[in-house]
């Protein structure tokens, strides 16, 4: 097989030798330059695409993590910083009230937290066992027993 390859190369060189050795070298050199430019362009395009894909993937991951954290209800750094600042303000107010206007008794009355009406509720009231049973009976259409309903 190696001999066959050598034979094909010799035949190709003999066909080109009619042009002259300098012409053959120039033709090979110009084709090599053209291929090098094409490969360089291809590599640059691949690098650009790779950088864009990496940035897109990172953004998608950040968005996914943010959504998951929000769904789980985990406090963010921003939330914690806000609470820390509020706590520091309240503590400084408490200390200022205690030292300037009447001591600890005054501080106790002014340092109380005010309700903002933003208390979180689950929206479900606790029910007793009887209420659950009654609700279940109404849902299934069974109601009270005949004895407790009276004459009927």
Residue 43 belongs to what domain range? Answer: 9-73
Residues 53 and 84 in one domain: no
Last residue of a domain, one of 73, 94, 123: 73
Residues 27 and 60 in one domain: yes
Q: Could you tell me the pLDDT band of residue 22, with boundaries at 50, 70 and 90?
A: confident
Those residues whose C-beta lies under 8 Å from the C-beta of residue 17, and which sit 6 or more positions away, are 24
Residues 59 and 22 in one domain: yes
Mean pLDDT of the 119-132 span: 50
* pLDDT above 60 (res 45): yes
Mean pLDDT of the 98-120 span: 54
What would the two tokens of residue 107 be? 């501080």
CA-CA distances (angstroms) from residue 71 to 66, 67, 77, 99? 9, 6, 16, 44
Q: Cβ(70)–Cβ(57) under 8 Å?
A: no
66-106 per-position pLDDT tens digit: 999 889 988 889 999 999 999 999 999 999 887 776 555 54
Residues 85 and 64 in one domain: no
The pLDDT value given to residue 139:
56
The pLDDT value given to residue 69:
87
In a domain, 54, yes or no: yes
In a domain, 150, yes or no: no
The pLDDT value given to residue 83:
96
Residues 79 and 67 in one domain: no
* pLDDT above 80 (res 40): yes
Count of domains for the chain: 2
Residues 44 and 88 in one domain: no
* pLDDT above 90 (res 134): no
In a domain, 27, yes or no: yes
In a domain, 128, yes or no: no
Mean pLDDT of the 111-116 span: 51
């Amino acid at each position: 097989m190696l001999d066959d390859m050598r034979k094909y190369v010799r035949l190709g060189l003999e066909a080109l030798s009619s042009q002259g050795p300098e012409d053959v070298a120039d033709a090979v050199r110009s084709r090599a330059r053209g291929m090098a430019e094409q490969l360089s362009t291809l590599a640059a395009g691949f690098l650009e695409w790779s950088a864009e894909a990496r940035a897109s993937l990172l953004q998608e991951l950040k968005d996914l993590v943010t959504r998951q954290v929000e769904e789980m209800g985990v406090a963010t750094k921003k939330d914690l910083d806000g609470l820390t600042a509020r706590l520091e303000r309240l503590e400084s107010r408490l200390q200022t009230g205690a030292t300037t206007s009447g001591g600890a008794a005054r501080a106790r009355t002014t340092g109380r937290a005010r309700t903002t009406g933003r208390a979180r509720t689950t929206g479900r009231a606790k029910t007793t066992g009887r209420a659950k049973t009654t609700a279940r009976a109404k849902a299934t259409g069974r109601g009270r027993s005949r004895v407790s309903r009276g004459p009927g």
